[in-house]
Amino acid sequence: MRKMSVLKTLLATTAAGCFAGLAGTPALAETAPAAPAAAAGAETLGEVVVTAQKRSENIQQVPIQVTALSGAQLTTANVHTTQDALGLVPNVSMDHSFTFLNSFVVIRGVAEINNADSPLSIVVDGVPQNNQKQALMDLFDVDQVEVLRGPQGGLYGRNAIGGAMIINTKAPSNTFQGYGQLDYGNGNYASGIASVSGPIVADKLLFRVAADVKGDGGRIENTYVGKNVDQVKYDDSLRARLLAYPTDKVTVDLRGGYNAFKGGATWDSAVFSGNANDIQSPTSDFLGQTKGFIADGTLKIDAKLSDLTLTSITGYTNLREDYRGDLDFTNPVNNPSGLFGYGPLGQGQNLNDKTVSEELRLTSPSTGRFRWIVGAYYVHEDRSLLTRGFFDLNHSPSQFNDPSIRIIDKSESDRNQAGAIFGQADYDITSQLTVTGALRYDADQRRQLDVNSGLVRTKTFSNPQPKVTLTYHIDPQALVYATYSTGFRSGGYNAPGVSIPEFKAETLTNYEAGIKTQWFDKRLILNGDVFYADDHNFQFFFVDALTASQIIANLDAVHLWGVELEAEANPVHGLNLFGALGTTNSDIVRSSLFPSDVGHKTPKTVPWKLNLGFQYTHEVADGWDGMIRVDYEHQDRKYWQIDNADVQKPLDLVNGRVGVTHGGYGLYLWAKNITNVRYYEDYNPKAFSGLPYDIGSLAEPRTYGVELQARF
Per cent of the chain over pLDDT 70 is: 93
Among 137, 180, 130, residue whose Cα is nearest residue 158 = 130
Q: How far apart are CA 256 and CA 265, in angstroms?
A: 28
Q: Give 422-458 pLDDT, tens digit per residue.
A: 999 999 999 999 999 999 999 999 999 888 888 899 9
56 by Cβ neighbours in 10 Å (0-12 / 13-18 / 19+) ranks as exposed
By three-state DSSP, how is residue 8 classified? helix
Task: Please answer whether residues 630 and 670 qualify as being in contact, where contact means their C-beta atoms are separated by less than 8 angstroms.
Answer: no
DSSP secondary structure letters along 137-197? -B--SEEEEEEEES--HHHH-TT-SSEEEEEEEPPP-SS-EEEEEEEEETTTEEEEEEEEE
Mean pLDDT, residues 154-162:
88
599 by Cβ neighbours in 10 Å (0-12 / 13-18 / 19+) ranks as exposed
Per cent of the chain over pLDDT 90 is: 83
pLDDT of residue 340: 87
Q: How far apart are CA 653 and CA 613, in angstroms?
A: 12
Q: Give 105-128 pLDDT, tens digit per residue.
A: 999 999 887 777 889 999 999 999
Confidence of residue 547 (pLDDT cuts 50, 70, 90): low
**CA of 443: how far to CAs of 42, 462, 553, 626, in Å?**
52, 4, 21, 54
Among 205, 196, 197, 66, residue whose Cα is nearest residue 144 = 66
Strands (E), 86-176: 92-96, 103-107, 110-111, 120-124, 127-128, 142-149, 163-169
Q: Across the beta sheet with 103-107, what order do the strands follow?
A: 92-96, 103-107, 110-111
Confidence of residue 26 (pLDDT cuts 50, 70, 90): very low
Confidence of residue 545 (pLDDT cuts 50, 70, 90): low
Mean pLDDT, residues 243-256:
97
pLDDT of residue 542: 79
Q: Give 688-699 pLDDT, tens digit per residue.
A: 888 999 999 999
Q: How far apart are CA 483 and CA 465, in angstroms?
A: 13
pLDDT of residue 544: 63
Mean pLDDT, residues 153-161:
88
Indicate if the pLDDT at residue 532 is higher than 70.
Answer: yes
Among 70, 75, 71, 72, residue whose Cα is nearest residue 708 = 75
Indicate if the pLDDT at residue 318 is higher than 50.
Answer: yes
Task: Please answer whether residues 100 and 290 qualify as being in contact, where contact means their C-beta atoms are separated by less than 8 angstroms.
Answer: yes
Q: How far apart are CA 688 and CA 682, in angstroms?
A: 13
pLDDT of residue 18: 39
Neighbours of 589 (CB within 10 A): 16
Indicate if the pLDDT at residue 24 is higher than 90.
Answer: no
Indicate if the pLDDT at residue 4 is higher than 50.
Answer: no
Report field, pTM of the whole predicted structure over 0.75: yes
Task: Please answer whether residues 50 and 637 qualify as being in contact, where contact means their C-beta atoms are separated by less than 8 angstroms.
Answer: no
* Distant-in-sequence, close-in-space partners of 179: CB < 8 Å, separation ≥ 6: 141, 193, 194, 195, 196, 709, 710, 711, 712
Q: How far apart are CA 510 and CA 534, in angstroms?
A: 7
pLDDT of residue 268: 97
Neighbours of 328 (CB within 10 A): 27
Segment holding 553, helix H or strand E:
strand 549-569
**CA of 624: how far to CAs of 134, 573, 668, in Å?**
40, 16, 13
pLDDT of residue 548: 56
Among 448, 446, 451, 351, residue whose Cα is nearest residue 409 = 451
Mean pLDDT, residues 310-327:
97
The alpha carbon of residue 599 and the mean position of all alpha carbons in its chain are separated, in whole angstroms, by: 28
Greater model confidence, 38 or 394: 394
Q: How far apart are CA 92 and CA 611, in angstroms?
A: 11
Task: Please answer whether residues 381 and 416 qualify as being in contact, where contact means their C-beta atoms are separated by less than 8 angstroms.
Answer: yes
Where do the domains of the chain lie, and which CATH numbers do they carry? 34-711 (2.40.170.20)
Farthest-apart Cα atoms in the chain, separation: 83
Q: Give 268-310 pLDDT, tens digit per residue.
A: 999 999 999 999 999 999 999 999 999 999 999 999 998 999 9
**CA of 41: how far to CAs of 35, 223, 521, 622, 649, in Å?**
11, 55, 12, 20, 43
Mean residue pLDDT across the chain? 91
pLDDT of residue 188: 97
pLDDT of residue 159: 84
By three-state DSSP, how is residue 22 classified? helix
Q: How far apart are CA 22 and CA 26, in angstroms?
A: 10
Task: Please answer whether residues 711 and 195 qualify as being in contact, where contact means their C-beta atoms are separated by less than 8 angstroms.
Answer: no
By three-state DSSP, how is residue 559 classified? strand
For residue 274, what are the β-bridge partners? none
Q: What is the DSSP code (8-state) at residue 174?
A: S
